[in-house]
Amino acid sequence: METALTRLVGVRHPVVQTGMGWVAGPRLVSAVANAGALGILASATMTLDRLRAAVREVAARTDAPFGVNLRADAGDAGDRVRLIIDEGVRVASFALAPSRELITELKEAGVVVIPSVGARRHAEKVAAWGADAVIVQGGEGGGHTGEVATSVLLPQVVDAVRIPVVAAGGFFDGRGLVAALAYGAAGVAMGTRFLLTSDSTVPDAVKARYLAATVKDVTVTRAVDGLPHRMLRTELVDALERSGRARALLHAVRHAAGFRRLSGLTWRRMVRDGIALKHGKDLSWSQVLLAANTPMLLRSAMVDGRTDLGVMAAGQVAGVIGDLPSCAELVEGVMAQAGEVIGELAAAPGGWVDAAMPG
């Protein structure tokens, strides 16, 4: 299936695996790339040396294009951009809107720039600055999320920009891909669906918690880091919501210290990143400190398998997923179902679509 996205980045299928911290490592990304979709490494939880090693590991596992996701507000974002350029990575993805200067530097080096956004105005801004495409995530998506549903946000963005738009938030199968294409998107991005594959390195006990979840077990809370965060509801989440602000801040300080040791960041760099985060989202200093909770609480679950001590970011689709296919099986199934749905629509009386639907 050829779309503006597949032509832009050189993949076979208009499907993107999002850059999930502690989850989107070399094994998952290379498996997605070999399946013909676009895999994206999550770099925010990696040191520069670890990121370079991860990029080279993916390149050794696949000849297909892949990307790296960056935090645009990180103090060393420029260093990471140069690493991407030096290592010949095809796509740079951003969790927040990157600056005009970073976009220009990447584009001049031939890197495709695809920021992720959660509002139409952000899509318009990065498009005006030269972004090649944009991933737009509706409120159904996992992790930090907004309040507007994908079905409302997606057509707004498609109508507002003239670059390829990739839909995220609520997608897990071929029917969703066809729906996104009908809205005018050039493909879909999925996080939770790729987390729940046999190629994902997330511990089996954690995957079991996801598979057992219903739609009602996926909640949005501010208790972890002061920002709206979609995740599985667990006893820990309940406890965090009941705890007072002073106790939450104490936990945040501890987690910040742990993340500093793992990431190799200095306290000065972490403070600079916190200032950037505060400015970008108009947060209080208490919320900035609480934001240190996220990397370590996610790591406890996604790496250590401690569902009692960690949090599990999840899109609402976690409540309707019940299997663990390989990435190859997942992508093949999505594309096969999409083809069947398009065929059925074309064959229906008064059919309004044909197999060349994507443009």
CB 180 within 8 A of CB 154: yes
**355 assigned to some structural domain:** no
Residues 208 and 192 reside in one and the same domain: no
CB 141 within 8 A of CB 117: no
**Tens place of pLDDT for every residue, the chain, 359 residues?**
999 999 999 999 999 999 999 999 999 999 999 999 999 999 998 999 999 999 999 999 999 999 999 998 888 999 999 999 999 999 999 988 899 999 999 999 999 999 999 999 999 999 999 999 999 999 999 999 999 999 999 999 999 999 999 999 999 999 999 999 999 999 999 999 999 999 999 999 999 999 999 999 999 998 887 789 999 999 988 887 887 666 666 666 665 555 555 556 566 666 666 666 555 566 666 666 666 667 878 888 999 999 988 899 999 999 999 999 999 999 999 999 999 999 999 998 876 655 445 55
**354 assigned to some structural domain:** no
Residues 88 and 136 reside in one and the same domain: yes
Residues 126 and 28 reside in one and the same domain: yes
Query: What's the whole-model pTM score?
Result: 0.89
CB 59 within 8 A of CB 30: no
Describe the strand order of the beta sheet including 143-144 as a list of residue ranges. 143-144, 229-232, 218-221
**261 assigned to some structural domain:** yes
Phi, psi of 169 (to 5 degrees): 105, 95
Residues 69 and 96 reside in one and the same domain: yes
Residues 178 and 236 reside in one and the same domain: no
